[in-house]
């Protein structure tokens, strides 16, 4: 599909941080063809009038845990450790794949409405998150959860490997799978070395 956006105030975010007033954008099958002055020969299937509107590149959210949208306003105003260990972890212990699916749908919808076109995420039941990404059209860098809690480190490692091998490059290249260890306080040195080794294999 060919789309023409007309009469926009364009924040290019290029090296010169140019701002183009009353400018147009030509898009052909999702790829930018022209910014600024568009040839009269460009025959658009859809024309959007962006008068008095700003157009800028999509935003990127590099730290999300998207399904946790379900926990919004739960356990507010607590110090980090009581929040994590006394509230969030017990709640996460009861999460199902369906919960994660609905949380991901809510979170991705909010991202898109906020102008985010790509996000990075690491969580549980990441197949559900990947399917939401596939359906929605957003781009994502995704990892299965990697942490050493309740002797589940090896299980999480296998799941992260399987997730990577199943999803990397999928959804027309919009999904980039990676290995995202949770933190230094929930992953020991040897586990981090193992994670690095698995990542380098791919």
CA distances to 20, 70, 133, 186 from 182, in Å: 41, 20, 21, 7
| Prediction pTM value | 0.88
The string of DSSP codes covering 163-185 is HHHHHTTTTTTTEEE--EE--TT
Residues 37-54 pLDDT 10s: 999 899 999 999 999 999
**Domain-by-domain residue ranges, the chain?**
2-57, 60-201
Residues 131-166 pLDDT 10s: 999 999 999 999 999 999 889 999 999 999 999 999
Highest CATH level, class, for 2-57: mainly beta
2-57 against 60-201: fold identical: no
Nearest C-alpha neighbor of 124 from the set 106, 150, 98, 105 = 98
In sequence order, what are the beta bridge partners of 153? none
CATH topology of domain 60-201: TIM Barrel (3.20.20)
């Amino acid at each position: 599909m060919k789309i023409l956006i007309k009469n926009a105030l364009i924040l290019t975010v290029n090296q010169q941080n140019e701002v183009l007033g009353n400018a147009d954008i030509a898009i052909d099958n999702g790829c930018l063809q022209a910014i600024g002055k568009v040839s009269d020969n460009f025959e658009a299937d859809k024309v959007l009038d962006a008068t008095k509107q700003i157009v800028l590149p999509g935003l990127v959210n590099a730290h999300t845990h998207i399904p946790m949208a379900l926990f919004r306003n739960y356990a507010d105003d607590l110090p980090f450790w009581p929040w994590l260990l006394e509230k969030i972890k017990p709640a996460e212990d009861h999460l199902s794949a369906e919960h994660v699916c609905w949380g991901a749908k809510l979170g991705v919808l909010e991202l898109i409405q906020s102008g985010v076109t790509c996000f990075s995420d690491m969580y549980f039941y990441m197949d559900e998150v990947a399917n939401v990404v596939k359906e929605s059209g957003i781009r994502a860098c995704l990892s299965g959860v990697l942490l050493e809690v309740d002797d589940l480190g090896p299980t999480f490692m296998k799941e992260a490997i399987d997730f990577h091998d199943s999803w990397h490059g999928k959804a027309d290249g919009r999904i980039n799978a990676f290995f995202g260890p949770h933190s230094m306080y929930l992953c020991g040195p040897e586990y981090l070395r193992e994670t690095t080794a698995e990542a380098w294999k791919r």
